[in-house]
Amino acid sequence: MKYLWIAIAAGSLLSGCSLENKPENTEKMSKNTITKTVLNTETPAPVAKKVPHKMEAHGVTRTDDYYWMRDDSRTDDAILAHLELENNYVEAVLAPLKNTREALFEELVSRIEKDDSTVPVLDNGYWYYTSYSGENEYPVYLRKPTLDANPQVLLDANIMSKGHDYFSIGSYAVSENNALMAYSEDTLSRRIYTIYVKNLKSDEKLDDVLEGTSGNVVWANDNTHLFYVKKDPQTLLGYQVYRHELGTPQSDDVLVYEESDPTFYTFISKSKDDSVIYIHHQNTDKTGVSIVDANNPTSPAKIFLPLKNGQEYSVAKAEDGYYVLTNIDAKNFRVMKAPLNATGDVSKWEDVIAHRPNVFLQGIEVMKNHLVVKEKENGMLRMVVHNLTTNEEKVIPTQDPIYGAYFYANPEMDTNTLRIHYSSLTTPASIVDINLDTLDSEVMKQTRVSETFDSSAYKSERVSIEARDGTEIPVSLVYRKDKFKKDGTNPLYQYAYGSYGATIDPTFRSSWLSLVDRGFVVAIAHIRGGQMLGRQWYEEGKMHRKINTFTDFIDVTKGLIASQYADKNGVFAMGGSAGGLLMGAVVNMAPELYRGVSAHVPFVDVVTTMSDASIPLTTGEYSEWGNPANKDEFEYMLSYSPYDQVEKKDYPNMLVTTGLHDSQVQYFEPMKWVAKLREYKTDDNLLLFKTDMEAGHGGASGRFKRFESTALEYAFVLHLAGVPL
């Protein structure tokens, strides 16, 4: 899906150019001094050749002069050479910012604890955790039988990554007898993983090698069989679930489930009590699960409840039944309980938490005696503990009025302790253990920012901006108290996503301090297309109402300027993936509002991509954007598709980023878009295009290396804003 890596996009590159390029853009922002550094704007920008390619549909003929840039093999010399020209152009233009970039990089990585480890998690008799040390880019995965015991190294990604430009461990799973470990790795950044198995007693690899997988792996309880999902090599959709028996070749593996509907994503997991293996079926607006008996792995998969259009459900097994989070007769979801032997008969289910039209249920966590529900009302998060013995309900107290939190590593069923990951725009990421009986909490770890960081120096706000149709759009803001004037002089960095129902919660990002500490206001616009205000909020920003996503973002910008949160000459916008589509639409619709716009791995060639079922992940998203085979959906997508709507007019300073091996938004979408923008735009503002030749959708894999792109972004933003380093 194009939304899976939105968190990474927030730390990527942002565009812009020298203010000296265009006389009408050289006005100083109030109370800010323009920096004297002059970018190398005399360097000629790369110009792509044009090879007309006609496409016809529903009586409409489109000519794509840059269609030639698509090469699924990623070996075409002309394409690779052009990408290198673009990268060289970026470096040449930004050469004067080299020292600034280096200083910002050091500042960003200084907020990372070099010697660091996660909080250990108890699972099946062992404490599992990961550890980083020194200058190492990757974690070491460890376990120990007791907290005071010497750890056993399970995987050392620093050693495993040697010889690879990109390296990622997808997931790992330990067998029920704690003797074997299956793990997956990707060395290309296409999210196609190879699964290996090692003996944890001898530390030796077994001969079993499973290729072409999603990286997802689950053990059966016999310590002999494991389940995995195989991907279609062309579309990259995980669609086949296989059962593998140790000691046999992959060619002998048994197909357990095959998804014939290309609009579905398939993945697997295991119940908390380890008795059931789940096969998850996920469409944009239709979800469900099939189950396999983990104690009888050769038994067939059985559907929990037949799938139905518009029906969504997820399940969590308890000792006496399944808790089901579902939208059956409940637009904003409710929690029901299904008997173990009657999952397919909803009439035998019982309500546990009834549907409330104004409360959106996001997730549940089940323990032996407690059910914890993550829910939102008016966009404000709360976590509610339901005691299954006494039926008492309690809200977990938090220190911030607006925050983000999620359930974090709770593999044990028989416990009264809940672990959550908690943060706000002013509170660094924290791992918190909560006693579900008393609600007493203990911060097990809080991410270190710096020796001088003081959260009280910052303030976050939730404001509401009226959109053009009268809808109130919530916006989360953060700024440094002693730098914020609220007189229209602060530069603004506005971020949003707005697709797939993904909610961007107001959580802490240490990289934003490099902007906030220099006087920026950072805003998260909770636009329609997400689910900040419930399922209706999502439905009002998809398919034939997608335009609301774009106009909401624009109206938030205008509203923040009018409310004097932002300098009208110093607004920067950023979005990635489907948020990159947002950026593409915004610069077509209201380019005059933004001094700089950053579009990371942007999904911008909507009609062409959605018309080609061979492009990875296309078919799985028909219910999000539409299917161009349908005339009305084709025409609506065409009306906003950033690539198709490029016009001869002025555009803001822009920097577009991609990864050559991106499996979610193919590199050629932004490549084509930049070429067309260069041809059409009538301004002298810079248009820069940066391709990571080793990485994919999520960028660089190392914990330090990824901040090189952030440093580049912020150096350029600060230059454009006229804010000295």
Among 12, 577, 598, 701, the one annotated catalytic: 577
Specify the amino acid at residue 118: T
Cα-based distances in Å from 601 to 26, 456, 576: 29, 35, 6
**CA dist list (Å): 45 to 66, 613, 648, 678:** 17, 34, 18, 9
Contacts of 709 (CB under 8 A, 6+ apart): 11, 12, 13, 657, 690, 692, 699, 700
Contact 381, 404 (CB under 8 A): yes
* 109-to-94, 135, 326, 583, 716 alpha-carbon distances in Å: 21, 10, 42, 28, 18
Residue 697 one-letter amino acid: H
DSSP code per residue over 107-176: HHHTTS-SSEEPPPEEETTEEEEEEE-TT-SS-EEEEESSTTSPPEEEEEHHHHTTT-SS-EEEEEEE-T
79: left (phi over 0), alpha (psi -120 to 50) or beta: alpha
577 is catalytic: yes
Q: Which of 208, 219, 115 is nearest to 176 (CA)?
A: 219
Identify the H or E element spanning 92.
Answer: helix 77-93
Pick the catalytic residue: 662, 692, 701, 719? Answer: 662
* Crossing angle of helices 547-562 and 578-589, rounded to 10°: 70
SS3 215: strand
Gap between the Cα atoms of 209 and 225, Å rounded? 13
- Measured between alpha carbons, how far is 353 from 368 in angstroms, rounded to an integer? 17
CB-based contact 259:616 (threshold 8 Å): no
The CA distance from 120 to 129, in Å, is: 5
**Any catalytic annotation for residue 662?**
yes
Type of residue numbered 559:
G
Catalytic residue, from 244, 697, 709, 719: name it.
697
Q: Is 563 a catalytic residue?
A: no
Which active-site residues does the annotation give? 577, 662, 697
